[in-house]
């Protein structure tokens, strides 16, 4: 039965054609594509991937001709947007268009961009070998309703001490915070890396701001708060000497280039997950990519995940400090079920530690909290940060939760430690 014959047998508004030989297509791809299709009021949608391949063809004389670039001015791949290739994963077509054109594409067409690895199709035995590795890394493994609410036993919790901008541009203060993070048991210490000339809106640059260093323009204040790469490398070496990983949230493409010189992990902050160009660029630069979902709609999260396929997705509410009644911690379960391939984390901005402990109990394997030496210090993030005593208590509590969750779900275990109490308290049952 052909497409047109099938279409006559069912009642529909939108027909979706799905390619069976595209095994890396996942539920969030359909959701993101359909949201774009509906929002744009398009007649048809084609799925594509962005590739940075230089294409050639042969002319009638058998000579090589570049198809999509000038060989005399070959662009750098990182500075080139690349080309969109149809990957055939799936299509959306409205009924009216299909009946008129008898074709899956036509009218007002839009493209939905999928990750580059989805370009691989299962057309030959050779493709099997490629896809085996890709499916292991990117494959979709649906979870049952029960398993989506249970964390894996013995899952190590990675704790990030978010220094952010609480260092106030002071190297010694930043080193004290890195040392505090290490001594408390955190695995990571993190700052924020920006290029103020890019990140600060034009209308804000010349505005005056009172700071501990006197009154200055907002752009001068932001530049005063930034570490240059010589300082960043010194901080990385300091952290490495302590045995803790130092990295950054990257706010722009130059900052990606800078931080990629010193490590292979980075985070896209909540404020920037709608910068799809930045998300894609960071994905190419870093082995481990983390995103936070604060201040974002579900559609914005979907678009970001589809663009950069982060390794860690952190639930957060970007209110500083955040009231506990709007944290919506159950969103973590939604993330776990929807993006089963990724690690799930929690980045908190609330007072206290109870919600952080709850996140770990619910299955978060990454935890991030802002840290400070003193919440009364100058700075916009200080009041939503934890002080050293709290940080030590938090990491200790997380380790205790890890211990009490080390056994997988299953029939009840009777531990040796219970036997003495069982023998002393449980009445003997008479033999028949």
Q: Do the domain assignments include residue 130?
A: yes
> Domain ends where: 138, 167, 199?
138
Structure token pair of residue 3: 């497409």
Predicted local distance difference test score (pLDDT) of residue 143: 47
Q: Do the domain assignments include residue 195?
A: yes
For residues 344 and 3, which has the higher predicted lDDT (pLDDT)? 344
> Domain ends where: 106, 138, 170?
138
Q: Do the domain assignments include residue 134?
A: yes
User: Of 75-84, 210-219, 353-362, which gets the smallest average pLDDT?
Assistant: 75-84
Q: Do the domain assignments include residue 431?
A: no
177 and 268 fall within a common domain = yes
79 and 20 fall within a common domain = yes
For residue 141, pLDDT beyond 60: no
**pLDDT class of 270 with cuts at 50, 70, 90:** very high
161 and 74 fall within a common domain = no
How large is the average pLDDT for residues 249-258? 97
370 and 242 fall within a common domain = yes
Predicted local distance difference test score (pLDDT) of residue 410: 81
Q: Provide the number of structural domains found in the chain.
A: 2
How large is the average pLDDT for residues 305-313? 93
Structure token pair of residue 361: 């109990």
Q: Do the domain assignments include residue 429?
A: no
Q: Do the domain assignments include residue 414?
A: no
203 and 176 fall within a common domain = yes
Predicted local distance difference test score (pLDDT) of residue 140: 56
Residue ranges making up the domain that contains 362: 153-404
279 and 397 fall within a common domain = yes
Distances (CA, A) of 165 to 147, 190, 266, 403, 429: 38, 10, 16, 33, 66
Q: Do the domain assignments include residue 350?
A: yes
What CATH number is associated with residue 331? 3.20.20.70
305 and 225 fall within a common domain = yes
How large is the average pLDDT for residues 106-135? 85
How large is the average pLDDT for residues 241-245? 96
157 and 237 fall within a common domain = yes
User: Of 147-151, 292-296, 323-327, 382-386, which gets the smallest average pLDDT?
Assistant: 147-151
The mean predicted confidence, pLDDT, of the chain is 90
**pLDDT class of 248 with cuts at 50, 70, 90:** very high
108 and 175 fall within a common domain = no
Q: What is the pLDDT of residues 325-339, one digit of tens each?
A: 999 999 999 999 989
Structure token pair of residue 26: 């996942």
Q: Do the domain assignments include residue 110?
A: yes
Structure token pair of residue 353: 């530690």
Q: What is the pLDDT of residues 169-217, one digit of tens each?
A: 999 999 999 999 999 999 999 999 999 999 988 999 999 999 989 999 9
Look up the pTM and report it.
Answer: 0.66
Predicted local distance difference test score (pLDDT) of residue 59: 93
296 contacts 270 by C-beta, under 8 angstroms: yes
**pLDDT class of 109 with cuts at 50, 70, 90:** very high
In the beta sheet, which residues pair with residue 57?
A: 65
Structure token pair of residue 176: 């004290």
For residue 77, pLDDT beyond 90: no
- Choose among 263, 292, 278, 289: nearest CA to 367: 292
231 and 363 fall within a common domain = yes
Query: Percentage of the chain with pLDDT > 70?
Result: 94
The angle formed by the CA atoms of residues 116, 121 and 124, to the nearest 5 degrees, is 140
How large is the average pLDDT for residues 375-392? 93
User: Of 130-139, 143-152, 245-254, which gets the smallest average pLDDT?
Assistant: 143-152
For residue 146, pLDDT beyond 60: no
Predicted local distance difference test score (pLDDT) of residue 16: 94
Q: What is the pLDDT of residues 14-69, one digit of tens each?
A: 999 999 999 899 998 999 999 999 999 999 999 999 988 899 999 999 999 999 98
**pLDDT class of 149 with cuts at 50, 70, 90:** very low
Residues 6+ apart with CB under 8 A from 192: 164, 165, 248, 249, 251, 269
**pLDDT class of 148 with cuts at 50, 70, 90:** very low
129 and 175 fall within a common domain = no
Predicted local distance difference test score (pLDDT) of residue 144: 44
> Domain ends where: 138, 173, 188?
138
For residue 288, pLDDT beyond 90: yes
For residue 303, pLDDT beyond 60: yes
**pLDDT class of 135 with cuts at 50, 70, 90:** confident
Instruction: Write out the E strands in 207-337.
Output: 208-211, 214-217, 245-250, 265-268, 288-292, 312-315
For residue 136, pLDDT beyond 70: no
d(CA 167, CA 373): 9
For residues 406 and 132, which has the higher predicted lDDT (pLDDT)? 406
Predicted local distance difference test score (pLDDT) of residue 137: 63
What CATH number is associated with residue 107? 3.90.550.10
61 and 194 fall within a common domain = no
């Amino acid at each position: 039965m052909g497409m047109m014959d099938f279409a006559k047998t069912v009642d529909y508004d939108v027909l979706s054609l799905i390619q069976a030989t595209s095994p890396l297509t996942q539920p969030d791809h359909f959701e993101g594509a359909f949201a774009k299709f509906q929002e744009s009021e398009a007649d048809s949608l084609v799925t594509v991937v962005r590739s940075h391949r230089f294409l050639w063809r042969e002319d009638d004389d058998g000579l090589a001709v570049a198809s999509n670039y000038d060989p005399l001015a070959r662009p750098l791949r990182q500075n080139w947007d690349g080309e969109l290739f149809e990957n055939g994963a799936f299509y959306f077509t409205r009924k009216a268009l299909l009946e008129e054109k008898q074709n899956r594409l036509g009218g007002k067409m839009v493209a939905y961009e999928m990750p580059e690895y989805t370009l691989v199709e299962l057309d030959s035995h050779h493709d099997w070998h490629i896809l085996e590795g890709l499916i292991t890394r990117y494959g979709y493994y649906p979870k049952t309703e029960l398993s989506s609410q249970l964390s894996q036993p013995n899952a190590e919790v990675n704790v990030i001490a978010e220094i952010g901008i609480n260092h106030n541009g002071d190297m010694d203060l930043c080193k004290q915070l890195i040392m505090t993070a290490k001594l408390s048991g955190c695995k990571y210490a993190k700052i924020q890396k920006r290029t103020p000339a890019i990140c600060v809106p034009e209308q804000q640059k010349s505005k005056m701001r009172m700071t501990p260093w006197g009154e200055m323009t907002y752009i001068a204040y932001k530049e005063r708060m930034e570490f240059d790469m010589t300082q960043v490398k010194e901080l990385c070496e300091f952290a490495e000497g302590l045995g803790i990983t130092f990295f950054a949230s990257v706010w722009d493409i130059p900052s990606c280039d800078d931080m990629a010189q010193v490590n292979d992990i980075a985070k896209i902050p909540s404020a920037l997950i709608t910068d799809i160009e930045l998300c894609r660029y960071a994905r190419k630069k870093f082995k481990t990519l983390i995103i936070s979902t604060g201040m974002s709609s579900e559609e914005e999260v979907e678009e970001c995940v589809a663009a950069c396929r982060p390794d860690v997705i952190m639930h957060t509410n970007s209110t500083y400090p955040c009231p506990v009644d709007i944290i919506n911690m159950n969103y973590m379960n939604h993330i776990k079920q929807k993006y089963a391939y990724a690690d799930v984390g929690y980045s908190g901005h609330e007072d206290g530690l109870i919600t952080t402990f709850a996140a770990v109990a619910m299955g978060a394997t990454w935890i991030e909290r802002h840290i400070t030496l003193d919440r009364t210090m100058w700075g916009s993030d200080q009041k939503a940060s934890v002080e050293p005593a709290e940080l030590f208590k938090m990491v200790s509590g997380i380790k205790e939760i890890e211990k009490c969750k080390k056994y997988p779900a299953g029939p009840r275990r009777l531990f040796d430690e219970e036997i003495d109490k069982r023998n002393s308290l449980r009445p003997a049952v008479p033999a028949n």
